[in-house]
Structure 1
Amino acid sequence: MAVLDLASILGLILCAVLVVYGIVFGNPIDYLGNFYDFASILITFGGALCCVLIMAPDLKTFFKYLKSFTLILKVQKINEEETIRQIIALSNIARKEGLLALEEAANSIDDDFLKKGVLLIVDGTDPELVRSILETELNCIEDRHAEITGFWDSLAAMGPAWGMIGTLIGLINMLRQMQNPETIGPQMSVALVTTFYGSMLANWICIPISTKLKSKNASEIMVKELMVEGLLSIQAGENPRVIEEKLKSFLSPARKAAFSQEEGGENIG
C-alpha cells in the first residue's frame, strides 16, 4: 500500500485555505461568490487544457500526463542507504563465491534496474558495455520523466495566458457597454477573475507539481547511478569496503555520518 506524501497534500490544502481566508478576512462569507464565474472557468481551465491537448502526442498520452498528478501524493520508495547495503551484500557474495553466484542472489532483487545490471555481470558482459546499456536506460527514463514534467510546465504557462485572454474578452464586453456605468464594476470584476484563475492554476497546481516531479526524478536517477557505480565496482573485483566508501559519496554529509555510525554499530555487534 502506497504511503501518502503529507507534505504535498498539506501544501495543496493549506494554499487553498489561505486564499479563501484572505478573501473572507474582514468580509462576509458570501464574498466567495465574487470569485466564481462559470464562463471564466471555461475560458481559463478549458483553454489551457485544450492547448496542452494539442501538444500531447495523442489522447491516451494526454490522460496519462494528467494522471501523473497522483505521483506527488505518494511517498517515493527510495532509500539510498538500503541500496548501498544491498550492493555491499552482493559484493561480498561475488568476492567469496564468484560472479556467477550473483545469479541466484538476483532472484531476490525487487528493483528491475539493479537486477538487470547483476544479470549482465553474471553473463560476463564487457564492463564498458554494461555501463553503456545501463546509462542508455537511465537516459530513456529521464526522457520519459521530462515529457511528464514538460506537460505541467506547459500547462503552467497556458494558465495565465488563457486567464489574460479571458480578461481581454471581459474588458471588450465592458467597453461596449460604457453607456451604462452601473455595469462597469461587475463586468470589470468578472474580467479580472479569469486572471485570478490562471494564476491559481499555474502557481497553486502546475508549478508545484512540476517541481516535485523533477525532485523525484533527480532522486531516482541518483540512486540508479549509485547502482551503476556499485555494479561496475563489483565486476572489477574491488574490495567491499572500498565499494562502500565510494558509494557513500552519493550521500549528504549528515546521512553519510549516520550511515557510518550504523555500520560501525553493526560491525561491533
Structure 2
Amino acid sequence: MDPSFIIGLILAFGALYAMITMEGASVDALLLPAPMILVLGSTIGVGIASHTIRDTILAVKSLGRMVRGPKKTPAAVIPFLVGYAERARSEGLLSLEQELDDAPDDFTRNALQALADGTDAEDLRDVMEDEIASAATRNKVAAKFYSSLGGYAPTIGIVGTVVSLTHVLENLDEPDHLGHMIAAAFVATLWGLLSANFIWNPIAGRLSRIGAVEIERMTLVSEGMLAIHAGAGPQLVEERLRALSGEKGKIKGAKKDAVEGAS
C-alpha cells in the first residue's frame, strides 16, 4: 500500500488545525451541519448529474485503488518477462502456459495465454493495445469525475454563502446576532474551497498518476511479450525493457528472485 494519500491528508488538515488554534478560533465554529450538507451533498449530486451512472459506479469503485496506490512499479514486471524469455528460448512458447498461475496480473496472464496458444504477432499486439486503451479510458473517467467535483465545490460554497447572507439580511433588526450569522454564512464558502482542494482534486490527481503507472506497466508487458514472440533472447528483452522504463543497472535472477523478494 502506498501511504502518500493518507500522509498528505494528515499534513493538510493538520496544518489547517494548527492555523485555527493559533488564531484562537474554534473548530466547532467550522463544523456547522447545514453548510457541510449543502456543499458536500450538492457537489456529489451535480457530479453524478454531469456523468452517467456507469461513470459514477466506476469512480466509487476506484476509491479503493486510489487509497492503496499502484500494485507494482512498472519495472517490477521486468524480472517476470525476462524469466518468460528464458523459458521460451529453452522450452518453446507453449511452455509459457505453465507460468499462468504465477503471472503478476491479469493483463500479463492473458498475454501469456495468447503466446502459448500461438497467436499471431499482429493480433497479439492489437489485443494488448486494445486492453491498454480500455484501461486508459477507465482511469480517465474516474479521475475526471473527481476533478469535476473539485470544480463544482467552490461555486456551490458561494451559493451556500449567498443563501445564508439572505437570511442575515432578513434579520437586520437583531444586531447582536449579526456577527455570528455573517461568520456562519462564510462557512459554506470555506467548505467549498476546502473540499475541492483537500479532497476532490487530490483524489483526481492521485487517480491520474496511478492510471499513468498502470499504463506504463502494461506497455512494458506488451513490448516484452512481443519481443518474446519474435524470439528475442532474455538479455535483449531485459535491455529493451529497462531502456523503456528508465531503470538503471541490471536485474539479477529474473522472475524467481522477484517473487521471493516480494514475499
Does the Cα contact within 8 Å between 2:143 and 2:204 map onto a contact in 1? yes
Deviates more, 1:97-106 or 1:219-228: 97-106
What is aligned with 2:27? 32
* 2:233 counterpart of 1:229: no
User: Unpaired runs of 5+ in structure 1?
Assistant: none
Choose from 231, 234, 238 the match for 2:232.
238
What is aligned with 1:175? 169
Does the Cα contact within 8 Å between 1:121 and 1:235 map onto a contact in 2? yes
- Per the normalisation by structure 1, the TM-score is 0.86
Change (3 A) 1:82 1:27: closer
> Which one-letter code corresponds to 1:25 in the other structure?
M
What is aligned with 1:210? 204
Aligned structure 1 segments of 4 or more residues deviating by more than 4 angstroms: none
What is aligned with 1:129? 123
Change (3 A) 1:146 1:83: same
CA distance in 1, matches of 2:92, 2:65: 40
Change (3 A) 1:17 1:67: farther
Question: For residues 155-214 of structure 1, what are the alpha-carbon distances to aligned partners after superposition, in whole Å with 9 as ceiling and x for unaligned?
Answer: 111211110100111222223333443333222211211010011111111111111111
Does the Cα contact within 8 Å between 1:174 and 1:183 map onto a contact in 2? no
Question: For residues 18-51 of structure 1, what are the alpha-carbon distances to aligned partners after superposition, in whole Å with 9 as ceiling and x for unaligned?
Answer: 11111111416xx222213221112111111111
> Which one-letter code corresponds to 1:184 in the other structure?
L
What is aligned with 1:8? 5
Structure 1 residue 61 displacement after superposition = 5.9
Number of equivalenced pairs = 255
- Per the normalisation by structure 2, the TM-score is 0.88
Structure 1 residue 67 displacement after superposition = 4.7
Alignment of 1:67-86 (within 5 A): 67-86=61-80
Change (3 A) 1:199 1:57: same
> Which one-letter code corresponds to 2:49 in the other structure?
I
Q: Give the percent of matched residue pairs that are identical in Structure 1 and Structure 2.
A: 27
Choose from 93, 96, 101 the match for 2:95.
101
What is aligned with 2:261? none
What is aligned with 2:190? 196
CA distance in 1, matches of 2:215, 2:68: 18
Structure 1 residue 12 displacement after superposition = 1.1
CA distance in 2, matches of 1:53, 1:148: 12
Change (3 A) 1:236 1:8: same
Does the Cα contact within 8 Å between 2:74 and 2:213 map onto a contact in 1? no
CA distance in 2, matches of 1:61, 1:50: 13
Does the Cα contact within 8 Å between 1:152 and 1:210 map onto a contact in 2? yes
Computed over aligned residues only, the root mean square deviation of the Cα atoms, in angstroms, reads 2.3
Structure 1 residue 56 displacement after superposition = 4.0
Does the Cα contact within 8 Å between 2:55 and 2:141 map onto a contact in 1? no
Choose from 41, 47, 53 the match for 2:48.
53
CA distance in 1, matches of 2:103, 2:63: 29
Question: For residues 96-145 of structure 1, what are the alpha-carbon distances to aligned partners after superposition, in whole Å with 9 as ceiling and x for unaligned?
Answer: 22222222233432421112112212222221111111110111111112
Match of 1:256, SS state, is: coil
What is aligned with 2:260? none
Change (3 A) 1:64 1:120: closer
CA distance in 2, matches of 1:129, 1:208: 38
> Which one-letter code corresponds to 2:232 in the other structure?
E
What is aligned with 1:21? 18
Match of 2:248, SS state, is: helix
